[in-house]
Amino acid sequence: MLSLFLSYLSDLSLLIQNFFAIHQDWLWLVTVAIDLGIALVLYRMFGKMGLYTVVILNVMLSNLQGPKLTVILGLETSLGVILYSGIYFATDLLSEKYGRREGQRAVLLGFVASVIMILVIYISLLFLPSQMPDHAEFAGNVHDAMTTLFGFAPLFVFGSLFAYLISQSFDVWIFHYFKKETGGKHLWLRNNVSTLSSQALDTVLYGLLVWAPVFGLADAAALAAAKYVFKAIIAVIDTFFIYWARTWNVHDTDWNDHIEVYQPNTQDEDAGDLFIDAWHGKTPLWKVFWIYNIFFGTIILAVLSAITSLMSPITGNFIQFFAIVLSGPYIIWALRSVWKCADNSSQIYKILAKTWVIFVICALMIAWYFLYTY
C-alpha cells in the first residue's frame, strides 16, 4: 500500500514537472499567487510578526535567486523579482495597519538579516572541503556548488543591499505621503503609486550597480525593463490582496495585548518617524552615530569603492557620480542628525560627536576635490 502511494506521488511529481517545463508562464503566475498567499496566511496567523517574517524571508530568498535568469512571457528576467515584489506587499500592509514606523522597521529588519546571512555564508565558504578518501569527491562537489551559488561578488552584495534599503525606505515614505494627502482614502492609489515608483527606483539602482558592470549598459537596461514589467504586474495583482487583508482583525494574533492598530485619522503621523526624529535631535546619539552614520556610511563607501575598482573609467565615473548624488541627501541627513542629537548627550560625547561631524565634512570636501581634479 505504501509503495503504491509513493509510486503515485512520484508519477504526480513528474507530471507537474513536465507541465510547468512546457508552461513557464503559468509557473510564474502560480508562484506569485503562492508568495502572496503565504504572506496572507502568516499575517492571519501571527499578525504583524508574520509580515516581518515575510519581509525577512523574501529578502533572503530573492538575494539567493537574484542571479538566476529565466524567460517569462518572452522576456528574460531575474527569478528574484517574484519574491522581491512580495516584500512591497508586506511593507505596505504593515504601513496601512500599523503606521509608518512599523513599515520602516520591517525594511531595516530585512536589511540586517541580509547582511548577517551574507556574512555567515562568506565565513562558511572559508572552510575547506573534507579530504578524507571516502567523502573527498562528495565534499568537493558540494563545496564547488556552494561557491557557485553563494560566492557573491562584492558589487552584487553591496549593490543589491543599497538598492533594497533606498527603494524600500522610499516606498514606506511615499505610501504615507499619499495616505496623508488623501485623508486615508484611495488605498489602491497609494499602494500602486508607492510600489511602482519605488520599484522603478530599485530597478534603476540595481541595473546600474549590479547588471551594468557585468553585462554592459545596453543589456542591463533590457534586463531592467523586463524586470519592471513583472514588478508592475505583481503590483496590480497585490492590490486585491491588500484590500482583503486590511479588513481582517488580527489583534488577538499580534502577541501584544497592548498594541494599538493604526487608524487613518491619527494626528501628527510623522511624529514617530525615525528620519524626522533624528533630524530634530530626538533620537539617542548612539543610534544615530553607530547605526545611521558608521554602519550605513560604511556600506555606501563600499559601494562607491566597488564601482571605482570594478568598472571602466568612463562608465565607472558616470555611475559613481550618479551614486554620489543619490547618496548625498542621506549623508547630509546623517551628519545633521549627529550634530542635533549630540545636544542630548553628555558634554564629552557632545564635543566628540560635533568634532567628528566637522572632520567628516572636511574629509568629504578634500576627497571630492581630489576625485574630480586628478
Percent of the chain with pLDDT over 90: 4
| Grid cell in block for residue 367 | 576627497
For 45, 176, 252, 260, the CA distances from 249, given in Å and listed in that order, are 11, 21, 8, 12
Residue 261 has pLDDT above 80, yes or no: no
Segment 251-273 shows an average pLDDT of: 51
Segment 56-62 shows an average pLDDT of: 87
Q: What is the pLDDT, as a whole number, of residue 269?
A: 42
| Grid cell in block for residue 194 | 508607492
Per DSSP, the three-state class of 36 is helix
Residue 85 has pLDDT above 90, yes or no: no
Question: Tens digit of pLDDT for each residue in 186-241?
Answer: 888 888 888 888 888 888 888 887 778 777 888 888 878 887 888 888 888 888 88
Mean pLDDT, the chain, integer:
79
| Grid cell in block for residue 158 | 553591496
pTM: 0.64
CA 135 to chain centre: 38
CA atoms of 230 and 224, how far apart (whole Å): 10
Cα dihedral 17→21→23→26 (10° resolution): 60
How crowded is residue 136: how many other Cβ atoms within 10 Å of its Cβ? 12
Higher pLDDT, residue 239 or 258: 239
| Grid cell in block for residue 35 | 508568495
* Angle (CA) 229 235 237, round 5°: 105
Residue 216 region by backbone torsions, left for phi larger than 0, else alpha for psi between -120 and 50, else beta: left
Percent of the chain with pLDDT over 70: 82
CA atoms of 219 and 216, how far apart (whole Å): 6
Residue bearing cell 523586463: 226
CA 341 to chain centre: 27
Residue 180: name the closest of 255, 98, 265, 108 by CA: 265
321 pLDDT band, cuts 50/70/90, is: low
Segment 40-57 shows an average pLDDT of: 90
* Highest mean predicted confidence (pLDDT) among 194-208, 263-277, 338-352: 194-208
| Grid cell in block for residue 366 | 578634500
State the DSSP code for 128. Answer: P
